[in-house]
Structure 1
Amino acid sequence: MRLFDTHCHLDFDIFDRNLESLISECRLLGVDTFLIPGTRVSAISKILTIQAQYRGVYVAFGIHPFFIDENSIDNLAVLDAELSTHHGAEGLVALGEIGLDKFSHVDYVLQKEVFEAQLRLADVYDLPVVLHNRKSDQVMLDLLDRYSIRAGVVHAFSGSVEIAREFISRGLKLGIGGVITWSSAHKVRSMVEQLPMEAIVLETDSPDMSPQWLKGEANTPKSVPRIAENLAQLKGISVSDVAEITYSNACELFGICDAQSSEKLGSDWL
C-alpha cells in the first residue's frame, strides 16, 4: 500500500532537525511520496534542496496569501524567473500554495492581485495549481474561469457539496486531511461522504491542521495512514482502495507517475 501526502510543509524550521528520520518513518508506514508547496520565493532554494536529497519528494513554487506583503509584486518577477529556470524539471510539479484568505491580515485587494498574477503564471507554464481558499469561494471560482488552468487541488477543502461540485467541474481535486478526524467536524464528514473518490487526494498540511489524536501537537505526514482509515470508514470501502485511488488521483493530477485511469465522474453528480 502506497500513500501520497499532497500537502506537507517539510521545509518549515520545525522539521530541520529530524527530517531524515521522519521521512524514513513515513516510508515504513507506506507514505512514500510527498509534495512540498511553496509559501514565498525566499523558500524556493530550501525546498529544492530537500527535493534533491530525498526520493519521492516533489515541490511547488508560489506565494501564500499569508506571506504577501509590499514586496510581493516585485517577488512575482522572481517567481516567474524561478519557474522559467526549473520548468520541465522532474521535481517541480505545480504552482502553489496560492490563493485567497478572508481571515488573513493581508489586504484582500492585494491578495487578489497577487493571486491573479500567479494564475497567469500557471497558465503560461501549464502547471496545476495548489489552492488555499478561506471564505472566498465565488471570487476564486470567478478568477479560475478567466484562465486556462488545466488542473489543481483545493487544499484542505471543507466547503459545501455544492461548492465542491463547482471546483470539481473545473477539473480540480479536493485535498482531504485531518479535519475529518475531528469529533466536531460533522458537516465536513457529511460532505466528504458525498464526494466521488476520483475527486479526492490525501494531505496533512504538516505541521498544521493536526488530526484529533494530535491536537495541540505538530502534525506530520505519518498521520496519512490513519486519515486514510477514517476516509475508508466514511466511504464504506477498504483502506487499500482509499490508498490506491487517492495515490492514482495525485499522480494523475501532478503528472509524476503512471496513474491508473479513473472512471469518469458521473454527470448525475456534477
Structure 2
Amino acid sequence: MSLTDSHCHIDAPEFDADRAELLARAAAAGVTRIIAPAISAAGWPRLREIARAFPQVAPAWGLHPMYLAEHRPEHIAHLREWVERERPVAIGECGLDFFVEGLDPDTQREFLIGQLRLAREFDLPVILHARRAVDEVTALLRRIGGLRGVVHSFSGSRQQAETLCGMGFLLGIGGPVTYDRANRLRSLAATLPISHLLLETDAPDQPDSAIRGQRNEPARLRAIAEAIAELRGETVEHVVRQTATNAAALFNLPGTASQV
C-alpha cells in the first residue's frame, strides 16, 4: 500500500536530528512519496539538498504568507529562476493568512498573485494556504484563471469546498479530521467526492488525535487514511489508492518511490 503525503515540511528544523530515521519510519508505514512545499526563498537551497538526498521527497518552491517578513519583491523573480532551473512539482506553499496578526493583507496579495501567475505560466499546480481567507483565495484563482492545485489543510465550509471542487481544485485533509469535535471537516471528508481529496500530515505540525501535542511526522499518514475510510464507510485500501492517484495526477509524479 503506497501512501502519498501531499504536504509535509520535511526540511523543518524539528527534523534535523533524525530526518533519515523519520523517513525510514514513513517508508515502513507505506508512505512512498512526500510533497515538500517551501516557505521562504532562504530555505529553497536546503530543501533542494534534502530532496536530492531522499528521492521520495518531491519539492515545491514558494513563499508562505506567514513568513511575509522574510520575503522581498525580488523573490518573485528569483522564484521564476528556480522554477525554470529546478522544475518543481508545484508552486507553493503560497496563499493568504488573515488569522495571524501583523501580516499585511495587501502585501500578501501581491506575493500570492505573483506566484499564481508563475504557476499559470509554467503550467504547475499551486499548493495553497487559505486561513480565514478561502473566499478571497478562490476569487484570486478565478481572476488569474488557468490554474489547478490543492487548498491544503482545508477548514472552510461545504459551499466553499464545493466551489473549489467545481473549479477542479483538490482539498488536503490531515490530522484535524481525526478529532471528534471537527464535525464540519469530518462531514466533508465523509461526503465529498474522493477524487477531490488528498491526504497530508503538514508535519511537524497538526498531529492527529493519537499523538496530540507531539511532533507530527509522515508515518502518521495512515492514521488519517483510516479515519477518512471509517467516515466514508470505505476500505482503507480504496482511500489510499484513490488519494495517491489524485496526487500523482495533480503533481505529475513519476513512478512512486518504493523504498528509502
Do the structures match in fold with TM over 0.5? yes
Q: Does 1:257 align with 2:246?
A: no
Give runs of aligned pairs for residues 10-89 of structure 1, distance below 5 A. Answer: 10-69=10-69, 71-87=71-87
SS in 2 for 1:145: helix
1:98 to 94, 98, 103: 94
Moved more, 61-70 or 17-26: 61-70
SS in 1 for 2:55: coil
* Mapped partners of 1:189, 1:118: distance in 2: 31
How far the C-alpha of 1:74 sits from its partner, in A, is: 2.1
Q: Could you say which residue in structure 2 is the equivalent of 1:266?
A: none
> Do the aligned residues in 1 keep the contact of 2:63 with 2:93 (CA within 8 Å)?
yes
* Mapped partners of 1:257, 1:163: distance in 2: 31
SS in 2 for 1:77: helix
Counterpart amino acid of residue 243 in structure 1: V
Counterpart amino acid of residue 120 in structure 2: D
How far the C-alpha of 1:258 sits from its partner, in A, is: 6.4
Q: Of the two structures, which has the highest relative contact order with CA contacts closer than 8 Å and spacing of 6 or more?
A: 2
> Do the aligned residues in 2 keep the contact of 1:175 with 1:201 (CA within 8 Å)?
yes
Q: Could you say which residue in structure 2 is the equivalent of 1:108?
A: 105
Unaligned runs of 5+ in 1: 260-270
1:174 to 171, 181, 194: 171
Q: 1:52-72 deviations in whole A, cap 9, x for unaligned?
A: 111221010000001112742
How far the C-alpha of 1:178 sits from its partner, in A, is: 0.4
Counterpart amino acid of residue 221 in structure 2: V
SS in 2 for 1:69: helix
> Do the aligned residues in 2 keep the contact of 1:60 with 1:93 (CA within 8 Å)?
yes
How far the C-alpha of 1:257 sits from its partner, in A, is: 3.4
**TM-score relative to the length of structure 2:** 0.95
SS in 2 for 1:72: coil
User: How many aligned residue pairs are there?
Assistant: 255
Give runs of aligned pairs for residues 161-240 of structure 1, distance below 5 A. Answer: 161-240=158-237
Counterpart amino acid of residue 148 in structure 1: G
CA separation of 1:181 and 1:76: change in aligned 2, threshold 3 A: same
* Mapped partners of 2:205, 2:105: distance in 1: 23
Q: Could you say which residue in structure 2 is the equivalent of 1:159?
A: 156
> Do the aligned residues in 2 keep the contact of 1:25 with 1:222 (CA within 8 Å)?
yes
Unaligned runs of 5+ in 2: none
How far the C-alpha of 1:103 sits from its partner, in A, is: 1.2
Task: Report sequence identity in percent.
Answer: 36
How far the C-alpha of 1:188 sits from its partner, in A, is: 1.3
**TM-score relative to the length of structure 1:** 0.91
* Mapped partners of 2:177, 2:134: distance in 1: 20
Over aligned residues, Cα RMSD in angstroms? 1.4
Q: 1:129-155 deviations in whole A, cap 9, x for unaligned?
A: 000001112211111012234320000
1:147 to 140, 144, 149: 144
SS in 2 for 1:146: helix
* Mapped partners of 1:144, 1:124: distance in 2: 14
How far the C-alpha of 1:160 sits from its partner, in A, is: 1.3
* Mapped partners of 2:131, 2:14: distance in 1: 25
